[in-house]
Amino acid sequence: MGWRIRVVHTTGYSYETPVRESYNEVRLTPRSDNRQNVIVSRVETTPATRSYRYADYWGTTVTAFDLHAPHTELAVTATSVVETADALAPARSATWEELAGEEVRDRYTEMLEFTDYVERNRDLGRAARALKRGKEPADAVLAAARWVREHLAYQPGTTGVHTAAVEAWEARTGVCQDFAHLTLLLVREMGIPARYVSGYLLPSAATEIRQTVRGESHAWIEAWTGGWWGYDPTNDIEIGHRHVWVAVGRDYADVPPLKGVYSGGESSALDVTVDMTRLA
């Protein structure tokens, strides 16, 4: 049985001199699907702005707003309540022959492509072929995720939002974004469609009802092996009731939580907090 979780994600900026105008996009609204139901979700800003919502190319809800009054601070707070489900088992109906077929490769071509974050690499290509050998597609995905966790050390501060999978691999360290990108590289090398997922993770399975804890912005992967299913390579666990899904794309570039442009002084401080409460 799943959980009901409240997520409060606050991002605060301060500027050295007043900003005259800014244009922003926010991807902080969880998705509703077969394993997650969004009960309520809203995005608020300080100073207050007028905003509108739309779905981007990948189906992610985007809140867009602009601000034309001088300001030295900007805060964006996204509050959501979602119901999550238990873990979804890997899809196992697709064969290697089907994955290599024209129909699948045409339908999911964008999730088979290599990108600036998920670049091809000779050594990692060899590793992917070795991991694939003798396994069914779903088991090959699990093997890739576990290989990444075995070979990459989780160490905050060693990489940034612009770090590519190969760079993290060469450093042998990274965070959840790097674990996801490196897993995507291996899985796409195998010829399996795979996508990047951003969201939140409630850190502990022992979280009590009504308990509020410092949560985590998180990233994991989904693969198509007859149906889409997810796995968390950073923690080597299935996607379950502690995961809240927000956005999906080819890599991080398709899902940044907040991006925009502004006219004025440089940003002097950035503060991000995520508070999560298990409601049921």
CB crowding 81-91: b at 16 or more within 10 Å, else e: bbbbbebbebb
Give all domains of the chain, ordered by start, each with its CATH number: 4-85+256-278 (2.60.40.2250), 96-254 (3.10.620.30)
CA trace torsion 267, 53, 255, 104 (10° rounding): -160
Report how far apart, in Å, the C-alpha atoms of 119 and of each of 22, 116, 164, 217 are: 33, 6, 8, 24
Query: Could you give the CA distance from residue 21 to residue 260 in angstroms, rounded to a whole number?
Result: 11
Cβ pair 246, 276 in contact under 8 A: no
- pLDDT tens digits, the chain, 280 residues: what are they? 689 999 999 999 999 899 999 999 999 999 998 889 999 999 999 999 999 999 999 999 999 999 999 999 999 999 999 999 999 899 999 999 999 999 999 999 999 999 999 999 999 999 999 999 999 999 999 999 999 999 999 999 999 999 999 999 999 999 999 999 999 999 999 999 999 999 999 999 999 999 999 998 999 999 999 999 999 999 999 999 999 999 999 999 999 999 999 988 777 668 999 999 999 9
CB crowding 228-237: b at 16 or more within 10 Å, else e: bbbbbbbbeb
**Predicted TM-score (pTM) of this structure:** 0.96
Segment (H or E) for 114: none
